[in-house]
Structure 1
Amino acid sequence: MDFRALMMGCGFALMWSSAFTSAKVAVAYAPPFAILGVRFLISGLLAVGIAWAMGQRARLSRRQWAALAAFGVLQNVIYLGGNFYAAQVIDASLAVIIASLLPLLVAGANALRGERLGAMATLGLFAGLAGVLLIMGARLDGGADVTGVLIIVCAVLALTLATLLVQGASSGDNVIMVVGLQMLVGSAVLLPLSLATEPWIIDWQWQLIVAFTYTTLVPGLLATITWFMLVNRIGATRAATFHFLNPFLGVAIASLILGEALGLTDMLGVVVIMAGILAVQLSRRA
């Protein structure tokens, strides 16, 4: 792996992990579905514009359109919508820890579809799951909102399914266009949902403006483009290794920016999760 790929991978992990903290800040000042719907509208239009300037076009088969629509609903509406909604009642650090199950769940789903897992990968799956359960148990005992936790769990399951579907949505030379279109799918669902379920009461504080701008441009657009560039450069399996940084970075950012308290159980669980993710990815790489 070259130095540029290393920097891209670390940059992606940092941007992805920070999204939970910026979401927590944003929903303190505005309705979650409204924020997310507008974010996807802006990010989607920017991505489509960039793709068009690069010569990419929305020439997709009927099957690809279906996969793109399903991916947009699963990732942007259910996963991110669930995260933004739950951010009103649970800590950002807990959300990012539960979300770190993604690479483990994807590996487990691939195993059910026939992919053989070695002993190290199997051990990593169980270690990662044990780490998440350890932290969830301690947080629930400490008074964490049960409904919020269940929403995040369901959201991660939806993202797992979206990840398994993503290969059917792109023909390989139009990935930025597909990124923009699936964001617009999310906006097309979330904005009507917001109008039907949320009062549009917005407290225009500078914290909201900064958080919204950041989450739209950095985790929303730049991180997604960086991920696709990284996958094209070093392959999906090696790129996925960088996910093992997410639990540590997400917890550290939430603690630094939001002042969320971290206990010994949290830190122990994060180490176990990171070790489990790394074991799975290194085993698959081998």
Structure 2
Amino acid sequence: MDIRALAMGVTFAFIWASAFTSARIIVADAPPLGALALRFFISGTLGVALALALGQSWRLTAEQWRATIIFGFCQNGLYLGMNFVAMQTIEAGMAAIIASAMPLLVALFGRIMGERMRPLGMAGLAVGFAGVALIMGSRISGGVDLYGLGLCLIATIALAVATLVVRGASAGGNILMIVGLQMLIGAGALAVASLTRGEIWQVTPSWPLGLAFAYTILFPGLIATLIWFLLVRQVGAVRAATFHFLSPFFGVGIAALLLGETFGPVDMIGVAIIMAGILAVQLSKRA
């Protein structure tokens, strides 16, 4: 993996982890699904407009359309939608820790589908999931909201599915156009979910809400997604997913700095175990 890919991966992990803190700020003053639908509508419209200005086309191949729709629905609709709802009752750092298990799920699904895995990889899966179980057990005994926790778990599975199909979306070019289109797909799904859920569209205006919403549109919304597509095309889905091992550290640090969240020794040990498991899985993939 070259320096460029390394820099892309670290930058993506930092921006991706910061989205949990900005989401926590947003859902405190706005309906989660409605706010997220508006975010994706704005981000998607900007992405498509910029792609058209750069000469890109929305005439995608059948494979690209299939992957773009699946990715938009899984990541933007299921993954982020469930996380936004969950963060009404659980902390941003906790959501980031659970989501960091995504590369472990990607490797596990690959193994289930017949992909060969070395003993180091199998050990990494066991260690990584043990770390997740350690943190979850500690939080459940501490009275964490089980509904929010369950939403985060389901959301992470949806993100793993999205990761496995993203290569099909980025294989034929038009990357920025695809980024914009999958956001518009997510916006539509979330708008329907918001109406179905009966959300009250009541917003409490504040400077933190405005700054968090603008940041989420530009960075986790457009920039991080574009980096992710390019990274997956360059190094593959499994290797790209490895950079999520940095997300627990970034997620906990940003939440502690901006939101004042605290984490106990068990949480920190669990984070270290998860990171070690993800690295072991990645090393097992190297020739």
Note whether the superposition's TM-score is higher than 0.5.
yes
Query: Does residue 71 in structure 1 map to residue 71 in structure 2?
Result: yes
Distance 1:171 1:284 in 2: 22
Partner of 1:28 in structure 2? 28
The alignment yields a C-alpha RMSD, in angstroms, of 1.6
Distance 2:125 2:44 in 1: 34
**Cα contact 1:47–1:177 (8 A) shared by 2:** yes
- How many residue pairs get aligned? The number is 286
- Report how far residue 170 of structure 1 moved: 3.8
Distance 2:239 2:161 in 1: 20
Distance 1:231 1:53 in 2: 24
Q: Tell me the alpha carbon deviations over residues 10-31 of structure 1, each in whole angstroms, 9 at most, x when there is no partner.
A: 1111001111111001000000
TM-score normalised by length of structure 2: 0.94
**Cα contact 2:64–2:172 (8 A) shared by 1:** no
Partner of 2:88 in structure 1? 88
Q: Tell me the alpha carbon deviations over residues 147-181 of structure 1, each in whole angstroms, 9 at most, x when there is no partner.
A: 11011111111111222222333442122211111
Q: Tell me the alpha carbon deviations over residues 39-73 of structure 1, each in whole angstroms, 9 at most, x when there is no partner.
A: 10111111112222232211223443233222211
Identity of aligned residues (%): 55
**Cα contact 1:131–1:272 (8 A) shared by 2:** yes
Distance 1:67 1:78 in 2: 15
Distance 2:113 2:126 in 1: 18
Q: Structure 1: 5+ residue runs without aligned partners? A: none
- Report how far residue 232 of structure 1 moved: 4.3
Partner of 2:128 in structure 1? 128
- Report how far residue 236 of structure 1 moved: 4.3
TM-score normalised by length of structure 1: 0.95
**Cα contact 1:237–1:285 (8 A) shared by 2:** no
**Cα contact 2:166–2:229 (8 A) shared by 1:** no
**Cα contact 1:83–1:155 (8 A) shared by 2:** yes
Q: Tell me the alpha carbon deviations over residues 235-264 of structure 1, each in whole angstroms, 9 at most, x when there is no partner.
A: 544433322111111111111111111100
Give the secondary-structure state (helix, strand or coil) at the position aligned to 2:205. coil
- Cα distance change on mapping 1:57 and 1:190 into 2, 3 Å: same
**Cα contact 1:241–1:282 (8 A) shared by 2:** no
Runs of 4+ displaced beyond 6 Å: none
Query: Does residue 195 in structure 1 map to residue 195 in structure 2?
Result: yes
Partner of 1:282 in structure 2? 283
Distance 1:220 1:36 in 2: 10
Distance 2:213 2:66 in 1: 30
Give the secondary-structure state (helix, strand or coil) at the position aligned to 1:211. helix
Equivalences for 1:12-51 in 2 at 5 Å?
12-51=12-51
Q: Structure 2: 5+ residue runs without aligned partners? A: none
Query: Does residue 268 in structure 1 map to residue 241 in structure 2?
Result: no
